A and B are shown apart, each in its own frame.
With several copies, the nearest count.
Chain A
Amino acid sequence: MTHLDVRLFGPQADAVGERSVRLTLPCESCTCAQVLDALRTAAPPLAESIDSSRLAVNQRLADPADPVRPTDEIALVGMVSGG
């Protein structure tokens, strides 16, 4: 079991009404894909936008297969609108 927090920003934070979501995952060594799946279940308002979102792990965009540790800084990067 792994516990970790995922930071939310912008419209995704607004949709959930929180700046971060605490997740409990069944895996011991988890991947970004597993975190995104758990997030989808834990925060239903993200359902529509999560497929076009990525995780940032320690402030770098990560791929689905990349590992995540509970000590990592994890953020959901989706619905960005800079420029």
Chain B
Amino acid sequence: MSANARIFDGPLDGIPAPTPHPAVGAVLVFEGRIRPTEAAQTITAIDYETYDPMAERMLGELARQALEKFGLLAVQALHSRGRVGVGQCSFRLWIASTHRREGLDAMDWFIDTLKRDVPIWKRPVFVESGAGATP
């Protein structure tokens, strides 16, 4: 059983997923990605601000709590710091469990808790209207 968490500068795309242990019957992955609108306005990216090292430490604590609370086999949580462009991945939660049910429940719990407690903030980067059009 292992739980780990990391905060990376920039998008998470391309970071390989863990290789599950053979005893794992179910692997669940959630990826949060940057959508092109925020509150109905077009954006080009999100800048993530993290309170370091608290944010990474809390992600790790949540991963360990999820492992224990839901009886999982392994959890990995990754989050971006800094700029992540539209269509790129800013959060990835990887859960290995014996069966599906506990993995889905753990995923729900982890993301709810992350969104409530972990000191990470996003700031949308809006399209600059007319920027570059002035001489």
Which A residues form the contact surface with B (CB < 8 A)? 7, 9-11, 14, 56, 59-61, 75, 77, 79-83
Contact = CB atoms under 8 A, between A and B. Distances in A.
Contacts of A14: 123
Contacts of B35: none
A82 B51 contact: no
B32 interface: yes
Given A10-B122, A14-B123, A82-B115, 10 more contacts: A7-B51, A56-B119, A59-B51, A59-B57, A75-B54, A80-B121, A82-B48, A82-B79, A83-B111, A83-B114
B16 interface: no
A10 B114 contact: no
Nearest to B55: A82
Contacts of B32: 83
Contact of B121 (A7, A10, A56): A10
A9 B49 contact: yes
Interface residues of B, number: 21
Given A10-B123, A82-B115, A77 B91 contact: no
A60 B123 CA distance: 23
Interface in B7-29: none
Contact of B49 (A10, A59, A60, A83): A10
B81 to A, nearest CB: 10
Nearest to A52: B116
A9 B114 contact: no
Interface string B43-83: 00000110101110100000000000000000000010000
Contacts of B121: 9-11, 79-82
B74 to A, nearest CB: 20
Nearest to A77: B119
A53 to B, nearest CB: 11
B115 A9 contact: no
Contacts of B91: 82-83
